[in-house]
Structure 1
Amino acid sequence: MKYLFLTFTCLFLSQISLGQSVLGKWKVMKDEETGEVRSIINIYEDEGKVNGELIEIMDKSKENNLCSNCEGENKNKRILGLILLKDFEKDQDEYVDGTVLNPNDGKIYKSKIWIDQDHPNVLNVRGYIGIFYKTMKWRRLLE
């Protein structure tokens, strides 16, 4: 009985810690009220930095769209497969000093991301233009 309790406790605690990670698949919402999803981003760690790749576009007619407004290495690349979140570093409960690419206009914004304190399956993604910012809420893809 003691081992069963210990096993259950370990499994429960591991689920809590997994719920707090920014790593994994996230739904980019098109409409919060209806729950309509625009795309899926896979956030992963690579050489100590956290990045996010666009792995699915819900509107299949847009899967072959190119990032024609992008500059540099992303110019005219397929949007599907682009690394939209780049080079985030962990700083306590946030990931900072990264960038987010908006494939619609090709602009790159300074950004930070963090798990919502009240909702562990919500990722706050904040992009900055100078002192102004916009925060999007992405939903964890629960498989």
Structure 2
Amino acid sequence: MKRFLALFAALGCSLATSLALADPLPVTGQWRTIDEQGVEQSVVEIYERGGKIFGKIVSLKQPLDEKGKPKICTACEGADKNKPIVGLVIIRNMVRDDDEYDDGTILDPNNGETYSCKLEAIEGGKKLKVRGFLGISLLGRTQTWLKK
């Protein structure tokens, strides 16, 4: 019985240590953005700054407009208006909440709209579920991005 209890305690400590060391949300890194039609559009680098998560576009599949110039965010407002899309910070101020990040925003440079956002790493960190929404999470859309 003592052996059983010692083994059980050792396994419990080992499991607790493994869980404490594991990062259940590997959201940082570079992600290939995939639109609703399954087409890759860009690469977004997600990074941590000041305890919050941000993401910026580091490349576009089609970086030039019809005139051969770098695409800019003409529909954006404020400081992002007419900024080049490559380099644009589109994910801002995400904070960890258990198995996901939320309370931040995501900018759609195609229409200049900013939405509330949730991020969740899935499939062992190989994919990132990105949900943009207005008001409540039910009113929005989800994309699945792939780890680069």
What TM-score do the two structures reach when normalised by structure 1? 0.78
3-state SS of the aligned residue for 2:125? Answer: coil
Structure 1: gaps spanning 5 or more residues: 1-12
RMSD: 2.1
Q: Report the equivalent of 1:110.
A: 116
Q: Please say if 1:57 is aligned against 2:74.
A: no
**How many residues of Structure 1 are paired with residues of Structure 2 in the alignment?**
123
Structure with more of its chain in strand, by fraction:
1
After the TM superposition, which residues 22-101 of structure 1 pair with which residues of structure 2 at under 5 Å, given as runs? 22-30=27-35, 31-32=37-38, 36-62=39-65, 64-101=70-107
Deviation at 1:39, TM superposition (A): 0.5
1:104-139 residue CA offsets vs partner (Å, 9 max, x unmatched): 0000000110012x4531100001122301111000
Which of these two proteins has the greater Rg computed from alpha carbons? Answer: 2
Find runs of 4+ consecutive structure 1 residues off by over 4 angstroms. 17-20
CA distance in 1, matches of 2:95, 2:24: 19
Q: Report the equivalent of 2:11.
A: none
